[in-house]
Amino acid sequence: MQAAAPHCFLCPAGKCCTPVNHAAEKGWSPAFHVSSSSLWLALSSPPLMTSTIMAPNTMITACLELDLLAYRWAISCPRLKETTLYWRGTRDLVASLTNTPGTENSLASTRSILEDATEKSSSNNGVDVGRIRARHSSAGRSYILTDQHGGDYTCSVLLVATGLWVPQVVEFVGSDLVEGYESISTNPEDYKDQAVLILGKGNSAFETAQSIIGTASRVHMLSSSPVRLAWQTHYVGDLRAVNNELIDTYQLKSLDGLVEARLEKIIIAERKDQNRRASGGKKKGQKQKQFYLMLKKYHQNSQDKNSSGVTQEELSGYHIDNFPMRKPYDRVIRCLGFRFNFSIFDSSASPPNSENAKGRLPGVTAWYEGKDTPGLFVLGTASHSRDYRASAGGFIHGFRYTARAVHRVLEHRNHGNAWPSTKLSTTQLLSWILKRVSEASGPYQMFEIIGDVILLQGAHCEYVEEFLLQALPQFSSLSGHQVSRHGFIVLVMQYGKKKIDYLGRGRAETDWTKAWKSNFLHPVLYYYDRLPTEEEMRMRPHGWPLPRPKAIHHMVEDFLTEWDGPLSHIQPLRSFLEHCVQTDLRAFYAESCFRSALTHRKPPLFCQEGYLNRQGLRQNTQLLQHVYNTGPPRPQHHDAGTSDVNPAFPSYLAPAGASLSSGLKLDL
């Protein structure tokens, strides 16, 4: 049996929709967005790879993991008094799913929409996709998915979003005695009065420690690297403050501890001690399994994989009397994370292992197509190799934007639809950028990976949102937009590169003349007169998201992440844009435009598009004198100064232009 379809989608049903109501009960929901092309969806779940094959539909094109409890909190948090106006990302997700404001009712609406989409599609539950292979023919490359009944599903484009669920295992002497994070008890009472050794210091390790710290007698954690705190590294995959209680009990009470050692150099040995009181509080005379951590160099048969039968002389505490882990443990738990499941791929279809993340992830291109596997795209957590330890691509608030970017790549490749863009008058560019840097969620969450590209075209410009920055050399072929001789600007959100005390004095930069010294997340604009080459991308300065530009502008960091200060943010940005477009971007009253038209061969662009088209504001002498006396007023969004804009441009640009008209034209 063989079913043909243009696309296949492979993702964990346990974290998706097989069916939707079952997924919701498990605390997960799919997202997001509407496609103009039909897809075959193959939804597969670990560990049995049980799948759902869904017939072509136009609703779901990406399966994104979303914790419903966190989602509900995000849209109803009492601190967010303006609904979700300042909750970056969640508002976009709600809007893209339900087209309704971010309220508590959105969750029910979202679930209803997804259930309706599932009911309308003809789905087959319980499909086990066990093998994926590639086939070359005169029509091109295709992929064949084989289920447990021998049925084949063929597609030219395969989207893989199976997540990371295969446990990361390190082989060492005694590794067979270790319990896995994926199988341990979640009941803290099962660890009562026990000494526990946890291998690993990531979030899964600290979550385990956090759960049992109140009942276990002691908890030690061991890994090859020290703890990395997320608020120091700006990487959400590092230890979050909500899970770091063990650090307090270690540093303040000496109850628990952290140790660094390579797992390949240790041994976990089991001994049954008679007439010895176990650390778990067992009575004397009762044999109790005890696990000792030993250094491999003291083991007589270092090549032997069997760690049983070790002698007292082989224990590290015998050689080093103050060895920190000389006491036995009742349990040893492995919490080393997870890896991508490569086993379902035939050699002809398997993406290579990534060069980073210890090869746990598949290697993909800058547009998330598997290297050496054209037509196979990796989405979700598994695509994190492109921004591993650099951004949020391994997490829901990050990969929902990369998944949408892949959709746009496929829209252009398969249907000729250009990357969505907004055509603006160059005089409106300043206000549009200010709106984006203060509200856009994609560049904010996927900092240094996703950014906005502004194509300069003289009196007009084209604003392309949320493009994949590492794919900038292939911008034209991926987006369908061309770069003119005027060049283009890239808007990126960046952290500072200097190592500082993130809670110490002087951690923030407030002087706009030193904006390039900003440490916290802030907008950076790069101006290029042409697209960079692939070699220039590879040879870019260390830590830079892009190659060296013709001009660069940092907007000074802002405590409220609202870049609307007339002097600190707007004025410097306007000067930079004027340098790039080589024209005056100020706003003018009608009288000033009239004077300029009489005295200059070419009036300012604002006058050309406003006054010379019979639009503009009359100058108010009394108001102007008040402005000089009191300083620049804060922009008011209800100002109707440019309400009569050129109808050739969208109506929503009128309030954006008005908000700056009164604040930037103070020197006339």
| pLDDT greater at residue 216 or residue 321 | 216
User: Among 475, 477, 467, 430, which Cα is nearest to 657's?
Assistant: 430
Rounded average pLDDT over 583-605: 87
Q: State residue 378's pLDDT score.
A: 96
Q: Please report the pLDDT score of residue 341 as a whole number.
A: 93
- Quick check: 103 pLDDT over 80? no
| Cis check: omega of the bond before 47, within 30 degrees of 0 | yes
The strand pairing partners of 338, in sequence order, are 167
Q: Residue 97: CB partners within 8 Å, gap ≥ 6?
A: 31, 32, 33, 106, 109, 110, 113, 114
User: Closest Cα to residue 542, out of 472, 451, 458, 448?
Assistant: 448
**What pLDDT score does 520 carry?**
95
305-326 mean pLDDT: 73
Q: What is the mean pLDDT of residues 138-165?
A: 90
Decide if 211 contacts 218 (C-beta within 8 A). no
- Collect contacts of 361-366 with beta carbons under 8 A, ≥24 apart: 361/164, 361/385, 361/388, 362/160, 365/471, 366/468, 366/470, 366/471, 366/474
593-602: long-range contacts, CB 8 A cutoff, minimum separation 24: none
- Given a cut of 80, whether residue 420 has pLDDT beyond it is yes
Q: What is the pLDDT of residue 627?
A: 65
Lowest average pLDDT, out of 182-196, 384-398, 504-518, 615-629, goes to 615-629
Closest CA to 222 of 248, 190, 184, 256: 256
Token pair listed for 251: 């540093």
Among candidates 514, 374, 461, which has minimal Cα distance to 653?
461
Residue 12, pLDDT > 60, answer no
pLDDT of residue 14: 32
Helical H runs in 189-288?
Answer: 203-212, 230-233, 245-251
Q: What are 532-559's pLDDT values in tens digits? A: 999 999 999 999 999 999 999 999 999 9
Say whether pLDDT at 450 is over 70.
yes
Mean pLDDT value of segment 14-25: 31
Which range of 29-43, 92-106, 135-149 scores highest in mean pLDDT? It is 135-149
The pLDDT, as a whole number, for residue 319 is: 78
Q: Residues 593, 604: contact at Cβ < 8 Å?
A: yes
For range 57-74, the mean pLDDT: 31
177 pLDDT exceeds 60?
yes
Residue 273 pLDDT class (50, 70, 90 cuts): low
pLDDT score recorded for residue 344? 92
Q: Which pLDDT belongs to residue 301?
A: 63
pLDDT at 345 (0 to 100):
94
- Structure token digits, residue 66: 């979303």
Query: Residue 566 above 90 pLDDT?
Result: yes
299 or 213, greater pLDDT: 213
Side by side, which strands form the sheet with 450-457?
A: 421-425, 460-468, 450-457, 488-494, 522-528, 551-554
Among the residues of 46-185, which ranges form H helices?
68-76, 90-98, 105-120
Poorest-confidence range of 48-52, 162-166, 222-226, 269-273?
48-52
Looking at residue 306, its pLDDT comes to 55
User: Between the CA of residue 525 and those of 32, 56, 491, 553, 656, what are the distances in Å?
Assistant: 29, 41, 5, 5, 20
- Token pair 């960046």 is found at 494
- Between 32 and 242, the more confident residue is 242
- Which pLDDT score, from 0 to 100, does residue 632 have? 54
- pLDDT of 292 over the 80 cut: yes
Query: Where do we find the tokens 């660069």?
Result: 552
- Write down the pLDDT at residue 98: 46
Q: Is the pLDDT assigned to residue 206 strictly greater than 60?
A: yes
Q: Would you say residue 407 has pLDDT above 60?
A: yes
Question: CB neighbours of 262 closer than 8 A, spacing ≥ 6?
Answer: 224
pLDDT of residue 648: 43
Residue 15 has pLDDT above 60, yes or no: no
Q: What whole-number distance in Å separates Cα of residue 661 and Cα of residue 267?
A: 71
Q: What pLDDT does 585 receive? A: 93
d(CA 185, CA 532): 53
Please, what's the largest Cα pairwise distance for the chain?
106
Interatomic CA distance for residues 519 and 160, integer angstroms? 36
User: Residue 320 — very low, low, confident or very high, per pLDDT cuts 50/70/90?
Assistant: confident
CB atoms within 10 A of CB 625: 10
- What is the average pLDDT across 570-581? 96
**Size (the chain), residues:** 668
Give whole-number Cα distances, 488 to 49, 455, 531, in Å.
45, 5, 8
| pLDDT digit string, tens, across residues 352-406 | 999 988 899 999 999 999 999 999 999 999 999 999 999 999 999 999 999 999 9
Across 46-70, average pLDDT = 33
Mean pLDDT, range 575-588, rounded to an integer: 93
pLDDT band at 528 (very low <50, low <70, confident <90, very high): very high
- Give mean pLDDT, residues 265-271: 87
pLDDT class for 59, splitting at 50, 70, 90?
Answer: very low
H/E run at residue 25: helix 20-25
Average pLDDT, the chain: 78
For each of the domains in the chain, give its residue range(s) and CATH number, in order of start. 2-165+339-414 (3.50.50), 175-334 (3.50.50.60), 420-581 (no CATH), 590-664 (no CATH)
pLDDT digits over 478-499, tens only? Answer: 999 999 999 999 999 999 988 8
Q: Under DSSP, is residue 66 helix (H, G, I), strand (E, B) or coil?
A: coil
Compute the C-alpha angle 422/655/102, nearest 5°. Answer: 75
Banded model confidence at residue 92, pLDDT cuts 50, 70, 90: very low
